[in-house]
Amino acid sequence: MPFALKKKAIIVENTSLSEDIYSIWLEEREIALSAKPGQFLSLFCNDASRLLPRPISICEIDKAKGRIRLVFRLAGQGTKEFARLKPADTIEVMGPLGNGFLPEGKKALLIGGGIGIPPLLELAKQLDCEKQIVLGYRDKTFLNEEFLPYGAVYVSTEDGSSGTRGNVIDAIREHKLEAEIIYACGPTPMLRGIKAYAKEQGMSAQLSLEERMACGVGACLACVCKSRDTDHHTNVKNKRICKDGPVFYADTIEL
């Protein structure tokens, strides 16, 4: 990567999946060719008063067309700006950043919670094994139908409006789902529950973590998580989510 820098990507499509969830396809061939499921892009705002890039995980990769799909939730002014982008607009991006999921070829449970669901879509497409997909929502569902071609899909909602009432673990128990490995992305309390569940079941689990980031490349140490072992880079029990993650084996981190 000789001096790879920010790139200008072209917006191909921008649609809303619900009132606060947006789906963008952008074109940047080099990024699409090297991207892996579980990696993320840093998206920069055009408004210079918003300095920091927004880390957004990759939802789908279309290598043939050189395109990447990002699905994100409106969280503040930056993501609102992205939601207003129109086809042919450009946006500055850096990436793909971080390490993605590590496909293991074992019978798998893919578990996503809320805005942690999008990165599992590309993983579901690429994983070549038996897959059960569990998607947890507060109330309204999104993206769940797009998972149907890749495995059995189970939904949980906190208000019980679709699928199992409760959380993803409730859905797993209700359907008595079994697997050898878990791939998961979602809010920290969900990941904490999955870590405990995986331990109880004797399964391995790859968890994708989230934290506020600044540089996105491992230099600023803003987005750390606690780790089981002393980290070779930082020499303390901290891992950098952007650079060492965002995907970690559950037993290597503290949640």
Partner 1 sequence: MNTNITIAGVTFKNPVTTASGTFGSGMEYSDFVDLSRLGAVTTKGVSNVPWPGNPTPRIAETYGGMLNAIGLQNPGMDVFIQRDIPFLRKYDTKIIVNVVGKTITDYCEVVERLSDCDVDMLEINISCPNVKEGGIAFGQDPKCVEDITGELKKRAKQPIIMKLSPNVTDIAEMARAAQAAGADAISLINTITGMKIDIHRRSFALANKTGGLSGPAIRPIAVRMVYQAAQAVKLPIIGMGGISCAEDALEFIMAGASMVAVGTANFINPAATVQVIDGIEAYMRQYGVDDIKDLIGCVK
Is 19 a binding residue for partner 1 by CB under 8 A? The answer is no
Match 């979602």 to its residue by tokens.
Answer: 186
Q: How many CB atoms lie within 10 A of CB 109?
A: 26
Is 90 a binding residue for partner 1 by CB under 8 A? The answer is no
Residue (155 or 224) nearer to partner 1, CB: 224
Of 41-49, 130-138, 149-157, 163-171, the window that binds partner 1 (rule: CB under 8 A) is: 41-49
What residues form DSSP beta bridges with 10?
Answer: 27, 90
Binding residue (CB under 8 A) for partner 1 from 11, 129, 214, 255 = 214
Q: How many CB atoms lie within 10 A of CB 228?
A: 14
> Of all helices (H) and strands (E), which one includes residue 152?
strand 152-157
Is 50 a binding residue for partner 1 by CB under 8 A? The answer is yes
Rg (CA), the chain: 18
Q: How would you classify the pairing of strands 108-113 and 181-185? A: parallel
Residue 182 DSSP label: E
Is 223 a binding residue for partner 1 by CB under 8 A? The answer is yes
Is 1 a binding residue for partner 1 by CB under 8 A? The answer is yes
Residue (122 or 244) nearer to partner 1, CB: 244
Dist. CA 243–CA 94, nearest whole Å: 13
Minimum distance from CB of 163 to partner 1 (Å)? 28
Binding residue (CB under 8 A) for partner 1 from 22, 25, 40, 44 = 44
Structure tokens at 32: 């699409």
Minimum distance from CB of 241 to partner 1 (Å)? 9
Residue ranges in 163-192 that form contacts with partner 1 under rule CB under 8 A: none
**Which amino acid would we find at residue 204?**
S
Smallest CA-to-CA distance from 59 within 156, 124, 111 is with: 124
Is 211 a binding residue for partner 1 by CB under 8 A? The answer is yes
Interacting residue ranges for partner 1, rule: CB under 8 A: 1, 3-6, 44, 48-53, 94, 211-225, 233-238, 243
